[in-house]
Amino acid sequence: MKNLLKELKQLLKIGIPIYGSQISYMGMGVTDTIVAGRASALDLSGLAIGNALSMPFYFLLGGCLFAVTPIVAQLFGARKYEEIGQKVREILWVSLALGFIGFILYRNLSFFIPFFDIEENIAQISDGYLKAMSFGFIANMLFTCLRCYSEGMGLTLPVFWVAFIGMVLNIPLDIIFVYGYFGIPPMGGVGCGIATSINVVIGVIVLVLVIIKKKEYRPTKIFSKFSLPNLDTTKEALKLGLPIGFGVFVELSMFSGAALILGSLGATVISGHTVAINIVSVLFILPLSFGLAAATRIGNLVGEKKLHQAKYASNIAIFICFAGAILNMVIILIFRDNLVSLYSSDLAVATIAMNLLLFGAIFQIPDGMQMGALGSLRGYKDTFAPMLMIILTYWFVALPVGYFLTYFGIFGDPMGPSGIWIGMITGLTIFAGLIIPRLNYIASKFIARSNPELL
């Protein structure tokens, strides 16, 4: 019981501020949506198309920097503080490179707009929004690297405060640039992109100042020296990070693919599905946060060579994520009417969304458990095999099964939107069934390596 309480305390200490940070990031998106929506339906549509085009690529590039968390966590556990500073300085060069790639990419993503049947006015707003967002992309990658550096040392509270300040600051910035104040002309949806770029530049400056001022960061001496790019460090970061980034890309593509599969069923079905998936996504932040916390905690314990404790902590991480998933499931089942009413007053849309949320409640269990295991595996620096499992279960199980059930059913009776949700639940359940044994295998393998007589 003492050990259980110890691990619960550690994971909560790391995870609760991460949860707050994730809520803050989502709050920025909500602000953009509300402010752009009040400007006009065209501005909101342009913003939505711009985000749909950019988000998979943002996480593909930014996800590569999630490798910083386990790298730092293991070094922190081993008390190699100055090596942390050296590694992060070298990975900041990788961040710059990824930021430049993203800058070029965002300025050219509008190339894909003509492939979709999108009105010219909406396309222009999307193009302007993406170009405005491009100016903050380099700063965004630097912020992600420094955020993961801080979280890898278990210092998640400072990151939360920076994220929270950013969420609050985003409100006046959006209003100023979208509606036009202080001599600035109204820019509509494009103004959200400008506000976000300014916000993220301010965010990275504030985070750097926090790192310089707070004594907890001083042992790493991160800004006391200058380091040139290092090939070995770059290889290490990309070897760990590319599978994480691509895995997130695959996960996002599953949700995008689900919406596309339902496209021919009409606007009402798509709207109902969108409402349900949004509610599920908001609730998923809880297990997501503790999955991210697990990467730090397990990485710290591996660095300390406390491998039995690391294995125990990974089981506790899965338990917390499972408990969070149960809580989410109960919330959905009890309050689904109220939750749906926040999104839509259309009776047909609301009916579809409430029916799909029954599947969304089941969805929580495998999704929560896999997040605990996936985060723990990142703490062990095991990212390639999980990526392959994600590709297998999301692209080759979830989407094909979902498509078949949606349009053909089991006995020739099409299941409609319920089919794609059953497909996603099937894919997630298989993934959870693969990733948890993988975690046990890797944890046992680390223990065996530290005790050669067990081999």
The candidate with the shortest Cα–Cα distance to 371, out of 279, 427, 295, 306, is 295
Q: Can you give the pLDDT at residue 113?
A: 72
Q: What is the largest CA-CA distance in the chain?
A: 74
Cα three-residue angle 248-252-434, rounded to 5 degrees: 60
Model pLDDT, residue 455: 45
Residue 239 contacts residue 105 (beta carbons within 8 Å): no
What's the pTM value of the predicted model, to 2 decimals?
A: 0.84
What is the chain's length?
455
Residue 41 makes CB contacts below 8 A (sequence gap 6+) with none
Q: Which among 177, 158, 149, 314 is positioned nearest to 237, based on CA atoms? A: 149
CB-based contact 303:75 (threshold 8 Å): yes
Query: What is the model's pLDDT at position 202?
Result: 94
Which pLDDT score is estimated for 174?
85
Determine contact, residues 383/237, Cβ cutoff 8 Å.
no
Instruction: Return the domain boundaries, the chain.
Output: 17-229, 239-450
- Give the contacts of 28 (CB within 8 A, at least 6 positions apart): 166, 167, 170, 196, 199
- pLDDT for position 59: 84
Q: What residues in the chain have per-residue pLDDT under 70?
A: 41, 115-118, 263, 267, 344, 452-455
pLDDT at 296: 92
Spell out a b/e string for 328-349, using b for 16 or more CB atoms within 10 Å of the CB, else e: bbebbeeebeebbeebbeeeeb
